[in-house]
Structure 1
Amino acid sequence: MIDDKKMTQRGALKYMGASVAGMALASMGGLSCLTSCTENGKKRIVFYFTATGNSLYAARQFSETPLSIPQVMKENELVFEADEIGLVFPDYRAMAPEIVKRFLQKATLKAPYLFSIITYGHWDCNIVESWNKFALQHGVHFNYITTILMVDNWLPVFDMNEEMKIDKQENEQFRQAVTDVLKEKNHIPELSEEERKRCEEVLNRIPVLFPVNSEDIFEVKDNCIGCGVCTRVCPRKNYILSGNGVKHSGDCEYCLACIQNCPQKAIVLKNGEANPNARYQHPHISLNDIVRSNIQ
């Protein structure tokens, strides 16, 4: 396990500025040096998408140098080759985030062993089945897919303060998943008909999250100090600093990185939150880590 020291949000602001974009590319090590070596000498590439740090923390369990999907997507050529290639991302309504789906559609992943690690916070429903189906439709055959239960950071429903009190036994789950991947285990869980039916019933009651315009769901309050964190953590570059404060517009990933990482809690959901005073960032991931991952 990699145990980073958490940087406070205000402390991280001191290190932000024009140099952050360069740091983001540097943190990828350049596209000429993508792979890391596993304990058994295999060459492995791990890609990830994160908003609160959960999936970055997960990705670091499988590679010391995981690659941010928003940063990799800036490249013209998306052809990657290794012994093992993994994708790590959060479950968004029983499917991958839009940016992860686009990456899978555009990238060419050449590896005899492909795996996905999907983080979720309450119920993983049929995320494995739907993701595997999507991948197969686009010619990608995963050997191994598993889910990791972590803090649920879906603000409309869950109170972050209460969620962080729950011991979800992350370490035990990661140990098993890391061992499975190291052994190149082939396993994709299947749902029973009863489980599939239950998932469909639940998902039919949850509105489709994408596409949505950020102006329709977010509001910037008067306590915004113009620090610019939102402009750096949004993977779609929907936020800008103007003479009249922070402005936002455009198709939204609905990752909530802007809300979760705002140091003033000045960005809120128009339709309300379970606890407007509670926010979440993985304790072993710094704000700077999230900036480097998502800055556009």
Structure 2
Amino acid sequence: MKTVIYYFTGTGNSLAAARKIAGALGETELIPIASLADTPGTIAPDADRVGIVCPVYDCGVPVMVARFAERLDLSQAGYTFAVVTMGGIGVSALHQLNGIFNRRQNRRLDAAFAVKMPGNFPPLMRSVPGEKCGKTLGRADRRLAEIAEAIGSGRSVSPGFEPVSWLVNVLSYGPFVKGTRNAAEAFSVSDACTGCGTCTRVCPAGNLTLTDGRPAWGRRCELCCACLHFCPTEAIQLNVMLGTEGRGRYRHPDLTVADMVSQRGE
């Protein structure tokens, strides 16, 4: 049985989750959503099972993922699922996807899952220390094994309901969506920048360019913070909420720069 999993990742948690599920299911194709962001028209996968794996942003899905879901035709899929990775709460992101599919195709996901992984938005939470991070990833792997078993069995799974997640989504997700495209003003770069260009390569939205050897942000930001987390000198800061100075950096231990570059189909 063929499975297609579409994924979006900024620091590797969702890609690691997609790989874990794919390895358990077999005969699975992983397709980065970022590689399809600029392609026109409907996307109709030729597969028995179709899934989306992505992170939670402000108790919703990334803007790029929401726009992708609007274009995804699930009419030929026998079984559909979604998995969201999150540092705290975010089941409402699964309800958001259900709402998109129900409104456009009169169909809901057959199964929806949430898995906790290390948080990676420094203005809100500090990076998890090594030993604690390892334990969190270990628990996530066990949870992902359970998720893969449920998907492989074709089980119907409800996303459940988190009142706080729903409330945060209602209050914060709209402003988040409006603010992402103007996030350029919130980033800064210090003199520690070496002009290596890593930030421009890892951005899944292709939103950064080097100008006079320093990164410049455009108007396609997803606020995934890949640029910030991958900067080898920690020269990039995001100046919102508590800021990011001294709050650590994170990326999944299996994630590479090459993984991020290939996410854009390059």
Q: TM-score range by the shorter chain?
A: 0.7 to 0.9
Does 1:135 find its partner at 2:101? yes
Question: Partners of 1:187 and 1:56 in 2: how far apart?
Answer: 22
5+ residue gaps, structure 2, are 24-28
Partner of 1:12: none
Compute the displacement of 1:201 (Å).
4.3
Aligned residues: 251
Q: How does 1:228-239 map to 2 (within 5 A)?
A: 228-239=197-208
Question: Partners of 2:5 and 2:128 in 1: how far apart?
Answer: 31
**RMSD (Å), alpha carbons:** 2.2
CA pair 160-202 structure 1, distance change in 2 beyond 3 A: same
Q: Of 100, 106, 109, which residue of structure 1 is paired with 2:65?
A: 100
The farther-off stretch of 223-232 and 176-185 is 223-232
Partner of 1:113: 79
CA shift digits 1:185-243 (9 cap, x unpaired):
1111332xxx43x4444456647322221322111111111111111122222211123
- Which residue identity is paired with 2:55? P
CA shift digits 1:69-109 (9 cap, x unpaired):
01133444522121101100001112111111111112323
Does 1:190 find its partner at 2:160? yes
Q: Provide the secondary structure at the position in 2 that maps to 1:210.
A: helix
CA pair 91-126 structure 1, distance change in 2 beyond 3 A: same
Q: Provide the secondary structure at the position in 2 that maps to 1:108.
A: coil
> TM-score, normalization: structure 2?
0.85
Q: Of 152, 155, 171, which residue of structure 1 is paired with 2:141?
A: 171
Question: Partners of 1:73 and 1:202 in 2: how far apart?
Answer: 27
Partner of 1:210: 177
Q: Is the 8 A contact 1:219 1:270 kept in 2?
A: yes
- Which residue identity is paired with 1:243? D
Q: Of 46, 56, 63, which residue of structure 2 is paired with 1:91?
A: 56
Question: Partners of 2:213 and 2:165 in 1: how far apart?
Answer: 45
Compute the displacement of 1:126 (Å).
2.6
Q: Is the 8 A contact 1:49 1:55 kept in 2?
A: yes
Does 1:159 find its partner at 2:118? no
Compute the displacement of 1:268 (Å).
0.4
Q: Identity of aligned pairs, percent? A: 27
Q: Is the 8 A contact 1:121 1:153 kept in 2?
A: yes
Compute the displacement of 1:174 (Å).
0.8
Compute the displacement of 1:274 (Å).
5.6
Q: Is the 8 A contact 1:52 1:260 kept in 2?
A: yes
Question: Partners of 1:83 and 1:138 in 2: how far apart?
Answer: 20
Q: Provide the secondary structure at the position in 2 that maps to 1:52.
A: coil
Question: Partners of 1:106 and 1:189 in 2: how far apart?
Answer: 22
Q: Provide the secondary structure at the position in 1 that maps to 2:69.
A: helix
- Which residue identity is paired with 1:69? I
Does 1:270 find its partner at 2:239? yes
Structure scoring higher RCO (CA < 8 A, sep ≥ 6) equals: 1
Compute the displacement of 1:165 (Å).
1.7
Q: Of 251, 261, 266, which residue of structure 2 is paired with 1:281?
A: 251
Q: Is the 8 A contact 1:158 1:274 kept in 2?
A: no
Structure with the higher fraction of residues in helix conformation: 2
Partner of 1:63: 22
CA pair 273-106 structure 1, distance change in 2 beyond 3 A: same
Does 1:49 find its partner at 2:8? yes
Q: Provide the secondary structure at the position in 2 that maps to 1:79.
A: coil
Q: How does 1:242-257 map to 2 (within 5 A)?
A: 242-243=211-212, 245-257=214-226
Q: Is the 8 A contact 1:52 1:282 kept in 2?
A: yes
Question: Partners of 1:281 and 1:125 in 2: how far apart?
Answer: 22
5+ residue gaps, structure 1, are 1-41
> TM-score, normalization: structure 1?
0.77
